[in-house]
Every structure is written in structure tokens, then in C-alpha cells.
Structure 1
Amino acid sequence: MTNPSTAIRFPCASCGGPMVFDAGSQHLKCQYCASEQPIDDVMNEPVEHPLDDRDEDLDSLRDWGTEQQAIHCEACGGETLIPAGQTTSTCVFCGSPKVLLQEQFRSIRPESVIPFQLSRDEAQRSFAAWKKKRWFLPNEFKKMNVSSQLNGIYIPYWTYDTDTYSVYSAEVGVYHYRTVTRTRVVNGKTETYTTTERYTVWHSTRGDYDRSFDDILIPASGHYDEDLLEKLGDFRLRELHAYKPEYLSGYISELYNVTRDEGWERAKREADHTLDAEIKRRIGGDEIRNLRIRTSYDHVTYKHLLLPVWNANYHYKARTFYYMVNGQTGTVSGHVPRSAAKITLFTLFCLGLAGLVIWFLMSNPEFFS
């Protein structure tokens, strides 16, 4: 809820009160009289910008549509944007009061945004359903209603498009099978038996491979680790809207910490990983060794996106835990307390099961024949 004393970016036409973006109606909604105002949403195709833009070209991309100010948290290092003239006393990430106003920032504005589609209450219900499905949680925690303060935050991302051309070479191994005769001792007697033996025939191969990538999604957050965001990242990018400052009204935007060029290096690693897997499938065979791939990247473009996340922390037995809820899909990612007793019982069960398997195999040597 916006504090009435803070700066009003979008005043209500009926009463002059602050209007914030409402996830339910997808309109601006007055916090005083509940009047709604639709947002002009022209669904143009988001613009892809060339990665090799010059610095002077980037100057035209720094206008966020409303005056913004950057806030830095000394405790966790989180950096967010809030409207100029608005005040805040705590960090939306960790709750620390050690927040400082930054003198200035030079940030590329987002090209596109996915507006919040889940309300705060819906996000809390998503977390409650998610934690009930977690293993190894204390029973008490599973049943309790967790009290947490959720903050709506737009997390920065980069997306990259590129055409690739790869040339590759490798050795391919194909399995073949033959029947061989062997001997073994059973009850003190030597007997002869036949079995099937596998061997590998190797040959060289080479070729080329064309592939285009669309919207390689790279988190640009400086606060969350990539693994946490990856679990949260099932955003439907086909529902992107052209950026409008109205979508940010009532919410906080995190300032990107991963630069455009750093994001591209990460995107290339993802593309390389995909190309490696796809080229291996094309090569076929049963084994591949000495695979070498050389790839060129052309027509590289990027977009800066803001994607919606409900961020929260809660306390359980004097410890603080964090979780996030995808503000579009309701997917949950986070940390929860663990039950030492449940983990111990599960470990003992696995050890017992492994022991039974070993006993069975040792008692039945013919199983290996």
C-alpha cells in the first residue's frame, strides 16, 4: 500500500488520490475511492536492439517515463528504483533500515514488461500450497499459517536473439555385440558357458549446423542467485507488454546489476550448452569423444525486461527464510526449514534398501551371468 504522504505519480481523476496498478483488473485503481482507469496498451511487437549499440545510442533508452531515484541497501546490497519524491525506510529484500539514496543512476529503461497478474493474497495462497508439497518439512510448519510480508518487485532480465552457425568434428562409437565362450567354477566344478560381449567400433564424423535462438532469458538481478531465479522462471514471454510506467505504480523495480554485455556472455554459454546437446543428437551413435564445435554468432539483439515477483521473508524458530512467487504464473521458489528427524529416517531407509540389494546380489552370483 502506498503511503499517502509519498509522491503521487498517477493521481485519481475523481478524488486526486494515488492510483496503483491492480493485478486483478489490469487497470490503475485508486486507493481511496476505488475508481479504475484503463491503461492504453498498444500491443506492438517489442523492439529488439542491436547488441553493438554505441553509447550515444543508449542515451535515448534511459528515459523511464517518470522521474526515478535509486535506493541502495547497505545490509544486503540490493538496489531498487522508486519514484522521485517517494521515501522509504526499509529494504524490500531484507527489511533492513540501512537504505541510502543514490545520487544518480544511468540505467537502460525496460523495453517490455509483464504486469503483475497475481494479487498479494493469491501469492500467499500459492506459497501455502507449495510448502505442503515439500518433503522433510517439520509437521508443525506444514500446518501453520506462515505470517510473511510480501513486496511486489519487478526483477530485471535481459533477453537475447541470435543466429548461429557451427562446424563440428568428433569420433563416433557404435556398439556391436558378439558371443564369447567363458568358464567359471560352480560348487567346485569348472563349467563352460556362453555370454554376449559388447565392443565399440569408432569412426570420424564432421559437419555443420545452423540454429537461431529467440529470447534467451538471463536474470540481471544483483540480489538473487541464478539457481533461485531459474526455478521461478517459467514466465510466458508471449504475454509481454510494451513498457509503460503505469504498470510500475505501487510496486518496486530492482535496478539491474548484470550489464548488457555480461548478460550476453551468459546467454552465449546457454546457447553453447544447447548447441552441444543438439549436435550430439544429430551425430548419433552410442558414444561420442573428442567433440569440437566452433560457433559464430550473428545478428545479435537484446531486450531489457521487467518481470513480476512477489518477494517475502518469514521467521520460524528464530531463523529467517526467504521465498519468491512468480507474479504471473504463481510458481514458488525459496527456502524452508527442514526436519532433522525426517531426514534421518529417510537416510536410514535408503541405507537399509541399499543393504538389501547388496545382500541379494551377493547371494545370487548367477544374476551377473
Structure 2
Amino acid sequence: MSTVAYKCINCGGPLEFNPAKQMFSCEYCRSDFTEKELKDHFGELDEKLNDENNKVDETQTEDDEFGFGGVLFSCPNCGAEVVTDETTAATECVYCHSPVVLSGRLAGDMKPNLVIPFGFTEKDAKEKFYAMCKKKWFLPKDFVSDAHIEQMKGVYYPYWLVDSDKAGSCNATGKKYRTWRSGDYEYKETKTYSISRMGNIAFQKFPQSALSKEDHHMMKFVNPYDNEALTDFSMSYLSGFQAEKRDTERADVQEQVDKELLEYSKKIFKDTMSQYDSVTLDNIQMNTVQEDWKYALFPVWLMTYKYKDKQKIFAINGQTGKTYGELPCSLGKLALFGAGLFVVLSAIIFGLGYCL
């Protein structure tokens, strides 16, 4: 398994992508570089593994040695051997904390086409988390602590992006209602219409999770991303972050994509029938004229924690700041709130009774 740590042009220290500057920064000499500057110096970034300074032991352990698909790699900075998950494509050395990209995980068909770089820093992500927690009255007192917050990490998650041109038609039943009075009588009139629609619908960059792990559902709830920020993939964007490679093929998720696009198509057709008081779709036929799939990595700030022996996930969209996750509830605070509410309501009822 080939690994690479991107080195500072000036001092040789490890480089990390800096979301605040949208540049590559060295924490030792404080130098900043654009992607163009790195390419001018190193050549094509994704092909610079031939550099002897970054060449490391390519020995890969067999999956069954660890029993969970673990892979052993050597840190290019300190030489320590670290075991990582089989879908991890970028991580950091647990000993020297240097960012490491496992290039072999993103080669060939596994190389993403596009990436949305992180839009804000870990510090900003923590501030967003603190701000949200301040609005939650029933959080346990010790939950918002550095012990939890220090577990926050930036992770690139894999998505399929689907461009799909559809041609379709549908039939529906529409109704219009009219009510009026004449003397002592009320009249109701219902007019029923047979509706037909035909048309083409173009879906662009429709996102679908490319990961089958248990937390893949989280990827749906941190959407949407702004596709205007998509850029051509370079492994350098992964430096300083963790990344997961996809473990699904197009065939694995095609049925789910077709199902979701059909539901969106129904909504689009119904939106053209707004002149009716009620609309019922009788049937719909959608055919795919052309479809193109691309593989992309999207940024997420992720925090995992245990509460009552259950592992929970809290996530922040690394571009827009949208949050997702389950936060624990303090039963003690809830009980105190209930008791206080009972006292207030009892006082109000007693006061009303006294006045009456």
C-alpha cells in the first residue's frame, strides 16, 4: 500500500489543506501554497509517489490477518506501522500525527472524479457545535466538554453524482370544488378532469451515498452541498483529513437512485397541475434517455461519542454547516423542568380558583 505525506517546499514539514485560506499550509514554518504552486514544484500531485522522499514500504497485510479487513501501512515521516480500516483512504499517524494519504486506495476506478474541499476549519466546526448546544436545555451538564469535542475530525465521504436525462409521461385526475348558498340551502359542485402530461426532466449531480457502512444514512441528512464548489479531484485535498473510499458499484445503488428520481419526477409533474384543488396521479412512465455517473468526495466534520453504552454520531456539513445527530438528554434536568412546570401551573390554577 503506497502512502504519501505532502511536504512543505520551504522546510519539508507536512502540508495540510487549510479550509479557511483554501490553500495548503505548513504548521512549522507557516508557509502557504496554492495547488498550482505545488504542481509547479512537484509536477502532477497525484503522480509524485515516485519521489524517493515519499516512497515507503508497500507491504500490505492480508485482510484475514486482522479479521476485519485491516491494512498495515508505514508512516512516511516516522516509520511507525499503523493498522487502518479497509475503506480508509486518508488518515493521520497516531504517533507523530502527520497527515498520510493511502494513494493505492484511490487508484484506477477507485479514483474520484470530483471533490468539494472543506469550507471551514475544525475551530469553526467546534464553535458551531457549542452554539447549537447552548440552545439545548436538557443536555447533560458534562456533555459539552473538551473530552467530547477533541474527538471531532474532518472526513471526506464518498458519493455518486448522477446526471440523468429522463423522458416521461403521466396521467392524473384533477378536481375543482365550488361551494355556494342559496336561501336555506348550501350547494357543492365537484368538477373532475382527466389530465395528461409529457416532458423531459434533467437531473444534474443527484447525490447518492457510495458507502455501505452503518453510518451511511448520516450522509443523506447532511445534504445538500453546493455543487458550485466542485473541483477536479487531487489527493492533496485529503492531506490533514480522513477520507473513505467508496465500497459500492453503480449496480449496487442503481435501483435506489431510480426510485428516488421517480419520486422527484412525480412531484415535478404534479407541480404543473397547481390550478386544480386536488390531484391524484393515476400512472407515470419514465424512461432514461442518457445517464452519466461520477464519483466525488464531500466534506463532513464528524464527532462520535458513547452515551449509555450506545455509540452515537454527530455530523456537520463541512461546506454549509448543516448539522445532523442525536444529542443525549439529561433525565435530571427534564425532571426538574417538569417539577417546575407543575408548580407554575398549580399556582396559576390555584390563583384562578381563588379569584373565582
Q: TM > 0.5 between the two? A: yes
**Using a 3 Å threshold, how does the CA distance of structure 1 residues 22 and 337 change in structure 2: closer, same or farther?**
same
* In 2: Cα distance, 1:73 partner to 1:336 partner: 36
**Using a 3 Å threshold, how does the CA distance of structure 1 residues 301 and 318 change in structure 2: closer, same or farther?**
closer
Match of 1:110 in 2: 112
Correspondence for 2:82 among 74, 78, 88 = 88
User: Between Structure 1 and Structure 2, which shows a larger proportion of helix residues?
Assistant: 2
SS in 2 for 1:140: coil
Equivalent residue letter for 2:128: S
Match of 1:206 in 2: 196
Equivalent residue letter for 2:10: S
Following superposition, the deviation at residue 290 of structure 1 comes to: 5.2
* 2:255 counterpart of 1:265: yes
Following superposition, the deviation at residue 35 of structure 1 comes to: 2.6
TM-score, normalised to structure 2's length? 0.69
Identical columns (%): 24
Runs of 5+ in structure 2 lacking a partner? 38-44, 50-57, 89-93, 95-101, 342-356
Correspondence for 2:34 among 33, 38, 42 = 38
Match of 1:297 in 2: 288
Following superposition, the deviation at residue 257 of structure 1 comes to: 2.7
Equivalent residue letter for 1:114: I
Equivalent residue letter for 2:22: Q
**Using a 3 Å threshold, how does the CA distance of structure 1 residues 8 and 255 change in structure 2: closer, same or farther?**
closer
The range that moved more, 136-145 or 81-90, is 81-90
TM-score, normalised to structure 1's length? 0.67
Correspondence for 2:209 among 215, 219, 222 = 219
Correspondence for 2:321 among 327, 330, 343 = 330
Cα deviation digits, residues 230-277 of structure 1 (max 9, x gap): 331131110111111111112222121332233343332222112111
* In 2: Cα distance, 1:280 partner to 1:22 partner: 45
Following superposition, the deviation at residue 175 of structure 1 comes to: 1.2
Correspondence for 1:287 among 269, 278, 289 = 278
Correspondence for 1:122 among 118, 121, 124 = 124
**Using a 3 Å threshold, how does the CA distance of structure 1 residues 341 and 179 change in structure 2: closer, same or farther?**
farther
CA-atom RMSD in angstroms = 4.2
* 2:25 counterpart of 1:25: no
User: Is the contact made by 1:162 and 1:297 (CA closer than 8 Å) also made in structure 2?
Assistant: yes
Cα deviation digits, residues 281-322 of structure 1 (max 9, x gap): 223422233521101111211211111112212345665432
Following superposition, the deviation at residue 81 of structure 1 comes to: 11
User: Is the contact made by 1:80 and 1:254 (CA closer than 8 Å) also made in structure 2?
Assistant: no
Cα deviation digits, residues 40-59 of structure 1 (max 9, x gap): 29xxxxxxxxxxxxxxxxxx
* In 2: Cα distance, 1:84 partner to 1:66 partner: 17
Runs of 5+ in structure 1 lacking a partner? 1-5, 42-62, 182-193, 350-369
SS in 2 for 1:40: helix
**Using a 3 Å threshold, how does the CA distance of structure 1 residues 65 and 302 change in structure 2: closer, same or farther?**
farther
Match of 1:242 in 2: 232
User: Is the contact made by 1:66 and 1:245 (CA closer than 8 Å) also made in structure 2?
Assistant: no
* 2:230 counterpart of 1:230: no
**Using a 3 Å threshold, how does the CA distance of structure 1 residues 78 and 261 change in structure 2: closer, same or farther?**
same
Match of 1:311 in 2: 302
User: Is the contact made by 1:65 and 1:245 (CA closer than 8 Å) also made in structure 2?
Assistant: no
Following superposition, the deviation at residue 154 of structure 1 comes to: 0.7
Cα deviation digits, residues 179-202 of structure 1 (max 9, x gap): 488xxxxxxxxxxxx464545332
Following superposition, the deviation at residue 227 of structure 1 comes to: 4.7
Equivalent residue letter for 1:254: E
* 2:267 counterpart of 1:277: yes
SS in 2 for 1:128: helix
* In 1: Cα distance, 2:270 partner to 2:33 partner: 54
* In 1: Cα distance, 2:200 partner to 2:119 partner: 37
* In 2: Cα distance, 1:82 partner to 1:151 partner: 21
* In 2: Cα distance, 1:82 partner to 1:177 partner: 75
Cα deviation digits, residues 73-92 of structure 1 (max 9, x gap): 999x7999989868434668
